[in-house]
Structure 1
Amino acid sequence: MHELARVVRELIVASDSYRRTMAGGIDLSTTEAAVLGHLLHDGPQTPSVIAARAGLTPAAGTSLLDRLARYGLVERRPHPRDRRSLLVHLTRRGHAAITAMSAMFSEDLLQALERSDPRLVEDPELRRAVTHLVGAMAASLRARAGDAAGVRAAILGEMSASHETADGEHGR
């Protein structure tokens, strides 16, 4: 299990670097690029939904959307069912940018698949099992990420226990 955790950690670190490089390719932050990805995959969204999903305050979300609009990547349009609200849409330029990033990502994953165990290419059942495992890992990590208070308590508890142990060892 430790080897799997080590390799998944390597994947996460590589993914972080990959995301920074992709976003930097068009002078965006990873948060800005992620917003484009959400709009591509989930369609137009309200500014408040975008801000919440990005982990931003409403004011910071507005600033982010202002920057993306200045770059010509998104545009705000009236909400068709709520006159008090707006929907943020990808522009053609924004769609082209995030589609290009998504295509490179798919290509990179395909190349990795082709370089891996040939059974993954040949056996759709095995590929589905690995896909299910990766999905389950993502869900588990998302669940933990959604429990900031629990994470904080657990880490501080371990730090406190470690400190008490260290004090006890020094007191001998």
Structure 2
Amino acid sequence: MDAMNVEESRSSLESASKLLKYFQYNPQRDSATDVRSVLLVVAALIAAATFTAGVNPPGGVWQETDYGKANTKSDDHLAGRSVLATTGNVFAVFLFFNSAAFSSSIIVISYLVYNFPFYLEIWIAMASMTFTYSASIVAITDQTHINSFYMYLALILPFILRSLVEGYKKLSK
């Protein structure tokens, strides 16, 4: 009976491997247009999800201002500020990685639509969306708990890394 289970496990692993291999990128089978379309959809979904998570953070925002009461453990908080931001490090980690994912998806979109008709308008829209994201983060974040330097670093880090990779490729040719 053990040999039968081993054989079934091996068979299901081979099936899963074949299925995974089928969905992997294959330059002989997949056209550049199809790949570009898939990448645009994935990047747009990531941009939308991370933008939404940034402007409407986990835990929501405080609904009313509370200046803390004497002899209570209640901290001051302002209406419209992120609840999670008062936890400090957890929100900082969330904000860093969410901002990096947002910025990376914007870079991918800009590369994929380069030289398309209306590229300038798309670029203006993406830049505006990035500034809106940044302004929203600043508005909902209590600056005493979160250092905005890390959020801005996360936003520009993908651009810097992409520039370094492109520069390295040019130098190595």
TM-score (norm 1): 0.28
More helix as a share of residues: 1
Structure with the larger RCO, 1 or 2 (CA within 8 Å, 6+ apart): 2
- Give 1 or 2 for the bigger CA radius of gyration: 2
